[in-house]
Amino acid sequence: MKRRGRGMACMWYPIGFTVAANPSAAVVKMNEDGTAVVLTGTVETGQGSLAVLGQIAAEALGIATDDVHLVSADTDATPMDCGAIASRTTYVTGNAIRLAAEDAKSVLFEVAAQVLGVAASQLEARDRTIQVKGFPRCSVPIGEICKRAQITLGRPPIGSASWNPPTVALDPESGQGKPFSTYVYATQIAEVEVDDETGEVEVLRIAAAHDCGTPINPMLVEGQIEGGISMGIGFALQEEILFDGAGRQINPNLTNYIVPTALDMPEIDVDIVQNYDPTGPFGAKGVGEPSLVPTAPAILNAIRDAVGVRITSLPATAEKVLAAIKAKRGDERKQIPA
């Protein structure tokens, strides 16, 4: 008989390295027409980080996402970066790019201040113009300012900056300190169906509420969460590297090590919880790794809810779940008085 159950799990997860410095540097170069090129040493590993970093640069410069081109991942051409690791790209590299854009913008403001006859502190960059705060009519197209800065004044608007999340080392005795600059939080709730005759578990749906600070690109946040859940399902139910007695793997192939496919995916309902972290670029934190963290315990708690067995060793394969169900039935039978 197939039995349904529900289970929840919440989690916290830090952004960046544990205590160790993990800076990123960035360069923002404005072109004569007001478009921009960003140099970053991070690597696009499929998560869409270049889109997010471009959006951060565009927001800081008051231009469109399409106006920004990113050059990445070349040690000859791009500044140092600690890379696509520890869910740090949006937060750390994003902050470096935001600051580099501010640096380039300060040149534009100096030039625009002369043109508009106001102090640089009175200016803002938005809608592809440099304008007087609160007086959008009093504005100059950003391209004109870029061209004037470079060609008339000989001051090409190029900005550079670096950023490192502040941490405090852990006390060697008590472990007290500030190992990370910030954390994100999430909850996932799973509904599963367990066949109590075979032990097979099917994940029917998952509601996932995640905090990532400001979502710079909600579509990519959802993509990360959906991908993380797929990885979490494999961790919870299927994947395991097995060894023989001599320490050699016995299933190093995709025939005997089964990863979830599209057919294993449940219905996913993503909620990006409203939040703003003042230390992140435009309030953003990150979402890469946390997306997978609560999936397995949510599923395992749902299995317990469905058939009343607690699986304490991952993965909860059909064999393991069935054995636990049988053991529980055995225990229950023993309890009947003679």
Partner 1 sequence: MADEQRVLERERSAVDEAWRGLDENARLPAAAPPKTVPAEPLVPVPGQQIRAVGQRATRPDSRYHGLGQTRYIDDLALPGMLHAKIKRAGIASARIKRIDTSAAESMPGVMAVVIGREFPVNSFGPTFQDQPVLADEVVRHAGDGVAAVAAVTEQIATAALEKIVVDYEPLPAVFDPLDAMREDAPKVHPPKGNICHSLAIRRGDVAKGFAQSDHIFEGRFTSQMVEHVSIEPHAAIAAWDANGRLTVWATIGRITLARADLARTLRLPMNRIRLIGTIVGGNFGGKNEISQEPALALLSKKAGRPVKGVFTRGEEFIASTVRHPFIMDYKTGVTKDGRILARTARLVLDGGAYCSWSETTLGKCCVLAPGPYKIDNVRSEAIVVYTNKTVAGAMRGFGAPQVCFAYESHMDDIATALGIDPLAIRLRNAFEEGSPSPTGQVLQSVVVKETLLKAAERFGWEVRS
Catalytic residues: 289
Contact residue for partner 1 among 165, 228, 266, 286 (CB under 8 A): 228
User: What is the total residue count of the chain?
Assistant: 338
Number of residues this chain uses to bind partner 1 (CB under 8 A): 128
The contacts of residue 71 (CB under 8 Å, 6+ apart) are 37, 38, 39, 40, 77, 78
| 323 lines the binding site for partner 1 (CB under 8 A) | no
| 176 lines the binding site for partner 1 (CB under 8 A) | yes
Peptide bond into 215 cis (omega under 30): no
Element (H, E) at 105: helix 94-116
- According to CB under 8 A, which residues from 29 to 68 bind partner 1? 41, 43-46, 48, 50-51, 54-56, 58-59, 62-66
Least Å distance, CB 127 to partner 1, is 5
Contact letters for partner 1, residues 127-146 (x by CB under 8 A): xx------------------
Which pair of tokens denotes residue 255?
A: 């025939």
Which pair of tokens denotes residue 206?
A: 């998952």
Which pair of tokens denotes residue 213?
A: 């600070």
| 92 lines the binding site for partner 1 (CB under 8 A) | no
| 191 lines the binding site for partner 1 (CB under 8 A) | yes
**Is the distance from CB of 67 to CB of 58 less than 8 angstroms?**
yes
Least Å distance, CB 149 to partner 1, is 21
Contact letters for partner 1, residues 274-293 (x by CB under 8 A): xxxxxx--x-xx--xxx-xx
Read off φ and ψ for residue 311, nearest 5 degrees.
-90, 120
Sheet holding 135-141, edge to edge: 123-126, 129-132, 135-141
| 220 lines the binding site for partner 1 (CB under 8 A) | yes
Contact residue for partner 1 among 93, 150, 164, 217 (CB under 8 A): 217
Contact residue for partner 1 among 71, 147, 160, 183 (CB under 8 A): 183
Q: Single out the segment in contact with partner 1 by CB under 8 A; choices: 27-35, 105-113, 237-245, 321-329.
A: 237-245
The contacts of residue 280 (CB under 8 Å, 6+ apart) are 90, 91, 94, 95, 182, 213, 214
Please say which residue, 312 or 335, places its beta carbon nearer to partner 1.
312
CA geometry: angle 147, 148, 150, nearest 5 deg = 65
Please say which residue, 74 or 197, places its beta carbon nearer to partner 1.
74
Read off φ and ψ for residue 214, nearest 5 degrees.
-70, 125
Contact residue for partner 1 among 143, 165, 199, 232 (CB under 8 A): 232
Q: Residue 131 carries which side chain, given as an amino acid letter?
A: Q
Contact residue for partner 1 among 135, 243, 326, 332 (CB under 8 A): 243
Contact residue for partner 1 among 31, 144, 162, 179 (CB under 8 A): 179
Please say which residue, 170 or 323, places its beta carbon nearer to partner 1.
170
**Is the distance from CB of 130 to CB of 122 less than 8 angstroms?**
no
